[in-house]
Structure 1
Amino acid sequence: MRSAELADTVNRLAHHLLRSGVDPGRRVVSCVPRGVDAIVVRAAIMAAGAVPVPVDPGSPAEVLGELLARTAPAVIIGSAAAVAACRAALPRKSFGGIALDCPRTRMAIATSPATPFSGAAT
């Protein structure tokens, strides 16, 4: 991925996070395996002004539940399976989920602005 392409992807995801209800300063759980996607997700979370909380998608349910209870994330971002695992680990709490492998989510991100987040209302 070239740097311009990386920046556009980060900015699009940051705008999508903001439209999904992520407020600056809130925590967002990143449940994405290590690699380029994890870097893009964490950079987008920070570009939106939120705080990334990286989580290993292979963590046991007890670990996920404890982490989610302590961090109280606004959103969990990852695959549909990772989002479902997090919801199952802490069923009494309500938080948003962004499934990156969902076609509807991919379309929403692809049609988001590629401009850097300015801090103004989107």
Structure 2
Amino acid sequence: MTPADLPTELHLVNPRQVLGQVYLDWTPQPGSYLDHQGQTYTVLERRHRYQLRAGRYQLNKIALYVQTAPEDGERRFVNGAWVIGDSTCIFNAQSPILRCAVNPRGPCQDCPSYQAQL
């Protein structure tokens, strides 16, 4: 069975809601970006749902837990990975999911906690 044969449920984390069901021809990993109905989302978690058939468990569907992705101006490709926020700040998490510990929702512009990396 290929990933394109399996339904994938999209769950928005905040606010909690189900965005729908899609069939994907690829397997998104946490941290990757996914476009759905004109909106870009960041994949936070992937869960597999199994069903018991004829005495065996078989993969039945995939559930992706997503959050809305930051605007393109806040995403940068640094050292081979996507990073959100200002990557020159020492508090930046260097992650496609979390901006920083001090100001996780942002924006980075005019942040009072900004400290340049040395």
- Give the shorter-chain TM-score range: under 0.3
Q: TM-score, normalised by structure 1?
A: 0.25
Considering only CA atoms, is the larger Rg found in Structure 1 or Structure 2?
2
Task: Flag the structure with higher helix content.
Answer: 1
Q: TM-score, normalised by structure 2?
A: 0.26
